[in-house]
Structure 1
Amino acid sequence: MRTEEKRLRVIIAEDNAILRDGLTSLLVERGHEVVATVGEATGLSEMVAEHLPDVAVIDVRMPPSFTDEGLLAALALRRSHPGVGVLVFSQWIETRYATELLAAGAGGVGYLLKDRVADVSDFVDALRRVATGGTALDPEVVSQLMGAARQQNSLARLTPREREVLESMAQGLSNAAIAKALTVTERAVEKHIGNIFTKLELPPSDMHHRRVLAVLRLKG
């Protein structure tokens, strides 16, 4: 490590013990200090408060449910310790909370995919950028976040009635059942569904079922 480079103080939140130890060894070998490691997201806040690191490396899916505990912990960390850099390092892209994590536009945040980091130096450089207030985002993460944003913008174009029809479709109701539930004619339901397909940019296709794709947009 070059003498002018600051020695980073790092916390690692990763449930996989092998990867956690591997990251620790990798960083220590390059002259940085891993001040603490945790295997569950619930222990992250206390460790950060105790050690005040430069940056925390956080996995997305951690115990107990292995869904989004890591990202929720990262959001909480950004609120409680805005001066601590947050690098999400995972094989999963969770667009819902990742968007919130990056929405403020402030630096000191990153999101890299484990399977796409081919060079150790690239990872360390990204960690340094985040620790010093910069950003480090995998292009695939950016692509999926932009796609999610476009979907939300499309949904925002729906009228309240069209939204009701789409939500009824998501429940598996037929056009006749939707008409009965909303006290409208089947012809009106068909018109609403046509408008939904248009606003969600779902043209007729022999390859895809537009009704299913529309519901996936709602649930996405």
Structure 2
Amino acid sequence: MVLPVNFQRDPFVVLDFTERNNDLPGLDLTDTARFTEYVFGQLRRSGAIVGVGGYNENRVIYRRSAHFNQTGEPRCIHLGIDLWAEAGTPVFAPLDGFVHSFQDNNHFGDYGPTIILAHQQPGEKPLYSLYGHLSRLSLNGLREGMPVKAGQQIGEIGPYPENGDWPPHLHFQLMTDLLGHHGDFPGVCSLSERERYLAICPDPNRLLGIPGL
């Protein structure tokens, strides 16, 4: 559990941010207030308490920010799972581990405040988890190497604009190799890099257990 949600019991809705969503062309995604109203309007209409954004999804919403278009090939493949919920919603560690690194990735469309946990035990393969779009308060008091227990609160979903200027949500991602990154790791890759990144970013639903995802 990374949010106070039981996906076997509590209502949720899957939000589609691919080109199949006919709502998106008429929505100014650079206007975070309007984008937020759209997201939470979907939750209200569905009677859901959380929205879910899919792993390995080819998305169009990243066109809103130059952050995803800094090279010749834009990044569009989502490497984690998004959990869209109100700012202030607590975020929990799903496994025992320790704080690997953290930082405020403070750019429009970026993660904002971010925490990476390491869950590697002696003799086991590396596993890391990333929590993006947190509140700045979530970084207070952290130190690298700090132990974390499964079920322990590690932060909270942040409001915009401090969360990277997104509608409030948690980006949750797993990695088996950080590729030298510290306090940050790509949450979106290009089409040509898809196979490479999916090989080291396993499906987070193996820990979340969201039915039908």
Query: Structure 2 length normalisation: TM-score?
Result: 0.28
- Structure having the larger proportion of residues in helix: 1
- Structure having the larger proportion of residues in strand: 2
Give the number of the structure with larger relative contact order, counting CA–CA contacts within 8 Å between residues 6 or more apart. Answer: 2
Q: Which structure has the bigger radius of gyration?
A: 1
Query: Structure 1 length normalisation: TM-score?
Result: 0.28
